[in-house]
């Protein structure tokens, strides 16, 4: 006997071709990764471009993190495609009027800028490693140095000048790379949950928040594992920046909802039950309370009472807040991507609820695997080049 077909869970009126969720967990993960890329680069630029000396211990880790997550940022999209090899068509047959094709241009431009900045920042270390190495290792590092061995003060000053220029160019490039994702959703006029002018800005600020949170976790964990000394000023500064961008992000998210509620348009009659029924847990409980209210209180304590808190207490507050904010940003991506698809185009019904499975092609295990690959890429980077000045960091030696 044939198994009975499962009837989709539909509430209200929905069109026959408007029932199933087509953008899955991979489309949630994609903007999550690009947000970390942008946030990590911003912290690096605060030191290289704006001279924030308290961020010097983490400046190189920021660049390495941005590069590692950028390498794997396209994997969720490629996994989502039925024929991932067709993604190359965007490069070989570009369509400059397509918002989707714009990602390829922005991605490659930012990748080039990031690679150049990494080379100028680590050029001296690459040369030093090449000089003290032998055999194949020496040849590899010599090639990385482009067979130049000039480490004179004049050459190093030129490296720093080039780094500042690339950081200045890289900030808008990183912001465009992630803000463009919000633009993709905000430009879809057929979906009232997505089509708001604040969508690109919310994606950008929340992405920077997640990037700073990842850096705090990586810094604290790597120093703990390597036995290095945690710089109190670095953590305090990261707490301040994290608190600032968290306040901006949550304020914009609330302003967006308040604007829709105040307008009382026909779309709000569909969005309101969506937020209070299908998304009540992920939006109200996770995004607003667990991911916003609690870390706001914890970071407020860490920032305003910085002088009176023991370093271990301050680091614990930073660690817990970072974990909760990463959950908050992910839940925001989930509520936008998945929640926006739950709303039927009829505005009078909801589609089938989406639950990712563990072992499916675009399931939980695949998503976790992509994040692990990005972290593994960072570890490999740290094995090749030191990510902490004057410290062994994630590896004993480059």
- In this predicted structure, what is the pLDDT of residue 101? 75
Tens-digit pLDDT profile for residues 62-72: 999 999 999 99
Q: What is the mean pLDDT of residues 371-389?
A: 92
311 lies in some domain: yes
Domain membership of residue 283 as a residue range: 231-354
The C-alpha atoms of residue 56 and residue 121 are separated, in whole angstroms, by 12
- In this predicted structure, what is the pLDDT of residue 5? 45
- In this predicted structure, what is the pLDDT of residue 372? 96
Please identify which residue in the block is written with the tokens 């710089």: 231
How many domains does one find in the chain? 1
27 lies in some domain: no
- Say which residue, 357 or 288, is predicted with more confidence: 288
Show Cβ contacts of residue 49 under 8 Å, excluding neighbours closer than 6 positions.
164, 167, 168, 171
331 lies in some domain: yes
- In this predicted structure, what is the pLDDT of residue 397? 39
Burial class (CB in 10 A: 0-12, 13-18, 19+), 317: buried
Tens-digit pLDDT profile for residues 212-266: 999 999 999 999 998 888 999 999 999 999 999 999 999 999 998 998 888 887 7
The SS3 call for residue 236 is helix
Confidence of residue 308 (pLDDT cuts 50, 70, 90): confident
Confidence of residue 179 (pLDDT cuts 50, 70, 90): confident
Please identify which residue in the block is written with the tokens 């185009």: 345
Mean pLDDT of the chain: 86
The SS3 call for residue 308 is helix
Backbone angles phi, psi at 350, to 5 degrees: -125, 145
Tens-digit pLDDT profile for residues 131-171: 888 888 888 988 988 888 888 889 889 989 999 999 999 99
- Say which residue, 269 or 209, is predicted with more confidence: 209
292 lies in some domain: yes
C-alpha distances out from residue 267 to 190, 341, 343, 347, Å: 11, 14, 10, 7
269 lies in some domain: yes
Q: Which of 185, 178, 210 is nearest to 199 (CA)?
A: 185
Helices (H), the chain: 25-48, 56-71, 75-80, 89-92, 102-132, 135-144, 153-186, 199-226, 232-263, 268-273, 294-304, 311-342, 364-384
The C-alpha atoms of residue 246 and residue 243 are separated, in whole angstroms, by 5
Query: How many Cα atoms occupy the beta-carbon half-sphere of 383 within 13 Å?
Result: 7
The SS3 call for residue 209 is helix
When mean pLDDT is compared across 86-100, 165-179, 330-344, the lowest value belongs to 86-100
196 lies in some domain: no
Evaluate whether 275 touches 257 at the Cβ level (below 8 Å): yes
Backbone angles phi, psi at 22, to 5 degrees: -105, -30
Q: Which of 81, 154, 162 is nearest to 121 (CA)?
A: 162
The C-alpha atoms of residue 68 and residue 63 are separated, in whole angstroms, by 9
Given a cut of 60, whether residue 3 has pLDDT beyond it is: no
- In this predicted structure, what is the pLDDT of residue 392? 39
308 lies in some domain: yes
305 lies in some domain: yes
């Amino acid at each position: 006997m044939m198994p009975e077909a499962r009837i989709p869970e539909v509430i209200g009126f929905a069109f026959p071709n408007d029932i199933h969720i087509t953008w899955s967990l991979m489309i949630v993960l994609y903007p999550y990764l690009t947000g970390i890329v942008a946030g990590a680069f911003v912290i690096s630029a605060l030191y290289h471009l704006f001279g924030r000396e308290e961020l010097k211990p983490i400046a190189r880790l920021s660049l390495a993190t941005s590069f590692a997550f950028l390498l794997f940022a396209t994997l969720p999209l490629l996994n989502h495609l039925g024929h991932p090899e067709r993604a190359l068509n965007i490069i070989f047959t570009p369509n400059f009027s397509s918002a989707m094709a714009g990602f390829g241009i922005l991605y490659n431009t930012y990748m080039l800028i990031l690679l150049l900045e990494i080379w100028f920042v680590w050029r001296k270390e690459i040369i030093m490693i090449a000089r003290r190495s032998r055999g194949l290792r020496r040849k590899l590092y010599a090639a990385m140095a482009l067979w130049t061995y000039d480490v004179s003060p004049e050459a190093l000053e030129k490296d720093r000048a080039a780094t500042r220029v690339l950081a200045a160019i890289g900030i808008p490039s990183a912001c465009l790379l992630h803000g463009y994702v919000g633009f993709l959703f905000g430009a879809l006029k057929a979906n009232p949950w997505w089509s708001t002018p604040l969508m690109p800005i919310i994606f950008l600020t929340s992405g920077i928040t997640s990037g700073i949170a990842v850096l705090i976790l990586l810094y604290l964990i790597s120093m703990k594992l390597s036995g290095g000394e945690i710089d109190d000023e670095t953590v305090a500064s990261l707490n301040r920046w994290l608190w600032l961008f968290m306040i901006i992000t949550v304020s914009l998210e609330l302003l967006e909802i308040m604007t829709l509620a105040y307008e009382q348009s026909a779309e709000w009659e569909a969005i309101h039950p969506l937020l209070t029924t299908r998304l009540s847990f992920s939006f109200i409980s996770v995004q607003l309370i667990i991911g916003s209210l609690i870390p706001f209180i914890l970071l407020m304590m860490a920032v305003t009472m910085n002088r009176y808190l023991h370093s271990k207490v301050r680091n614990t507050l930073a660690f817990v807040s970072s974990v909760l904010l990463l959950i908050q940003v992910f839940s925001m991506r989930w509520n936008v991507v998945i929640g926006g698809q739950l709303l039927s185009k009829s505005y009078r019904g909801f589609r089938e609820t989406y639950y990712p499975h563990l072992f499916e092609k675009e399931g939980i295990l695949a998503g976790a695997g992509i994040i692990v690959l990005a972290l593994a890429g960072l570890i490999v980077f740290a094995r090749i080049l030191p990510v902490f000045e004057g410290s062994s960091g994630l590896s004993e030696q480059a």
